[in-house]
């Protein structure tokens, strides 16, 4: 059940003795971390994070290492990054108090091409153009194309061993991983954990990015994976156009790898569900993979082969799902769909 909220609130008061917290609430359940959101008399929000398990101790340490590293580059980013405003201990466990990020957590289903896709593309480009010393000087991980390939192969092998992945998907992924040209890229600083929980949006603009525990030097396509797998195809394409405009050095196959990684992520999720022996989750994961296989059979998935970048119009011509949605047909003043 974790620590009582009142105990967490007392820890927050100890971590920042000058703050006058008016009210608080528990954040989303996390078995490894106790997280409490608090608001002071000025209306500013804060987040208290306390390890709730051995894994939570490591998770909190990774989060702090990432925050300390990215904090040095925060002035170069077009969005806010959490700041540590206090710390204390609960017995021998470290307790940290961070500023909350402005905006609401990202819901990709709401957005069409427009302000959001532009802001998202520019936000990722800003991260990927940071000096690699931001990561290296902090001793954070660095992965080259060889190690990334090995990790992806291992994920596919683990999923294949369950016997629950449609064979046509395995063939698609294996063929892509054997395409040497697809993996010719320069590793950059990446966030490493872009998701609904880490990106904050206000009025269709990315206002904050949190959870920097995956900060590393690796394939920039990893940060585009979430958008590739969860947004409207036209929103992904528009974001990539703005990304390329902000970062012209992006390699020509970054789109294909982002799509590949988003598909392999479903396979990795299946593996995780099998390890948990949760039949309901296994069935859901199998259903998602079968849906992906059906799209492949119907010619609805993007090609993964390495190719020169000839513009998104050409990509759209080869992929029925990637026809551009005309923003003018959607609600005005915002690019939210709902």
- The residue to which tokens 């990539």 are assigned: 240
HSE-CB at 318 with a 13 A cutoff on CA atoms is 11
Return the structure tokens found at 55.
């894994």
Which of 223, 229, 222 has its CA nearest to residue 206? 223
Is the CB of residue 22 less than 8 Å from the CB of residue 39? Answer: yes
Write down the CATH number for the domain with range 5-99: 3.30.200.20
Residue with tokens 């390699």: 251
- The CATH number given to 104-329 is 3.90.1200.10
Are 274 and 162 a contacting pair, CB within 8 Å?
yes
Q: Does this chain's domain 5-99 share its CATH topology with 104-329?
A: no
- pLDDT in tens for each of the 338 residues of the chain? 578 999 999 999 999 988 899 999 998 768 899 999 999 999 999 999 999 999 999 999 999 999 999 999 999 999 999 999 999 999 999 999 999 999 999 999 999 999 999 999 999 999 999 999 999 999 999 999 999 999 999 999 999 999 999 999 999 999 999 999 999 999 999 999 999 999 999 999 999 999 999 999 999 999 999 999 999 999 999 999 999 999 999 999 999 999 999 999 999 999 999 999 999 999 999 999 999 999 999 999 999 999 754 344 434 433 433 333 333 333 334 444 43
User: What residue spans define the domains of the chain?
Assistant: 5-99, 104-329
Distance CA 6, CA 35 (A): 12
């Amino acid at each position: 059940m974790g620590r009582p909220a009142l105990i967490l609130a007392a820890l927050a008061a100890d971590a920042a003795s000058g703050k006058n917290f008016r009210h608080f609430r528990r954040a989303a359940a996390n078995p490894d971390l106790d997280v409490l959101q608090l608001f002071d008399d000025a209306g500013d929000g804060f987040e208290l994070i306390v390890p709730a398990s051995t894994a939570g101790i490591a998770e909190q340490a990774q989060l702090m290492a990432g925050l300390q590293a990215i904090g040095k580059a925060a002035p170069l980013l077009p969005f806010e990054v959490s700041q540590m405003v206090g710390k204390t201990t609960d017995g021998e466990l470290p307790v940290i108090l961070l500023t909350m990020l402005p905006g609401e957590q990202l819901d990709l289903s709401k957005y069409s091409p427009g302000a959001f896709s532009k802001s998202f593309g520019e936000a990722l480009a800003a991260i990927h153009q940071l000096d690699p010393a931001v990561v290296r000087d902090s001793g954070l991980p660095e992965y080259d194309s060889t190690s990334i390939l090995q990790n992806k192969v291992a994920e596919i092998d683990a999923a294949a061993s369950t016997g629950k992945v449609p064979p046509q998907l395995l063939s698609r992924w294996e063929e892509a991983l054997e395409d040497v040209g697809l993996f010719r890229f320069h590793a950059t600083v990446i966030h490493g954990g872009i998701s609904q929980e880490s990106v904050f949006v206000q009025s269709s603009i990315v206002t904050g990015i949190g959870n920097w525990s995956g900060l590393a030097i690796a394939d920039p396509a990893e940060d585009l994976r979430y958008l590739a797998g969860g947004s409207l195809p036209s929103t992904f394409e528009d974001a990539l156009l703005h990304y390329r405009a902000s970062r012209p050095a992006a390699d020509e196959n970054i789109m294909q790898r982002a799509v590949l990684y988003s598909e392999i992520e479903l396979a990795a999720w299946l593996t995780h569900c099998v390890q948990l022996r949760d039949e309901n989750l296994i069935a859901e994961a199998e259903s998602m993979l079968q849906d992906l296989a059906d799209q492949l059979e119907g010619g609805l998935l993007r090609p993964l082969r390495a190719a020169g970048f000839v513009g998104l119009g050409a990509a759209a011509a080869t992929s029925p799902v990637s026809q551009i949605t005309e923003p003018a047909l959607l609600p005005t003043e915002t690019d939210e769909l709902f």
